[in-house]
């Protein structure tokens, strides 16, 4: 069974601070995605990383895929209240159509 361990599960910080969320596994993934979910909505795709060591930036969000494609991180710089939400990582293994989801990180940014 492939598992994605996501940490921390809860994070509450002040506006303007930086934070990093981690997603780790013992399995190799062909791609890994990050989603954000707000209350009353389905998860929304933020980014997909496919190459070991790949770094992608989305405004103040930086996503990195580990060299061995077993782990990933999401770093937010100067967090804002609008960043509040549930962040989910999800991995796809080679040839598989199903995604494996991490447990999620519930992020709260306080004004």
Partner 1 sequence: SAVISQKPSRDICQRGTSLTIQCQVDSQVTMMFWYRQQPGQSLTLIATANQGSEATYESGFVIDKFPISRPNLTFSTLTVSNMSPEDSSIYLCSVARGIGGTEAFFGQGTRLTVV
**Which residues bind to partner 1, rule: CB under 8 A?**
6, 30-31, 33, 35, 40-45, 48, 50, 88, 90, 92, 96-99, 101-104, 106
> Residue 77 or residue 108: which is nearer to partner 1 going by CB?
108
CB of 5 to partner 1, least distance (A): 11
Beta bridge mates, 7: 22
CA-based nearest residue to 20, from 52, 63, 58: 63
CB of 109 to partner 1, least distance (A): 18
> Residue 95 or residue 111: which is nearer to partner 1 going by CB?
95
Q: Which helix (H) or strand (E) holds 96?
A: none
> Residue 14 or residue 94: which is nearer to partner 1 going by CB?
94
Task: For residue 106, count CB atoms less than 10 angstroms from its CB and return exposed for 0-12, middle for 13-18, buried for 19 or more.
Answer: middle
DSSP 8-class letter at 47: E
CB of 20 to partner 1, least distance (A): 19
Neighbours of 39 (CB within 10 A): 7
């Amino acid at each position: 069974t492939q598992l994605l361990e996501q940490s921390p599960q809860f994070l509450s910080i002040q506006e303007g601070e930086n934070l990093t969320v981690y997603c780790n596994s013992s399995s190799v993934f062909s791609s890994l995605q990050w989603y954000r979910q707000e209350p009353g909505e389905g998860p929304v795709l933020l980014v997909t990383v496919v190459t070991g060591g790949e770094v992608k930036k989305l405004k103040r969000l930086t996503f990195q895929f580990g060299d061995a494609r077993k782990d990933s991180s999401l770093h937010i710089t100067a967090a804002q209240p609008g960043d509040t939400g549930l962040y989910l990582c999800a991995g796809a293994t080679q040839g598989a159509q199903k995604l494996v989801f991490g447990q999620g990180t519930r992020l709260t940014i306080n004004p």
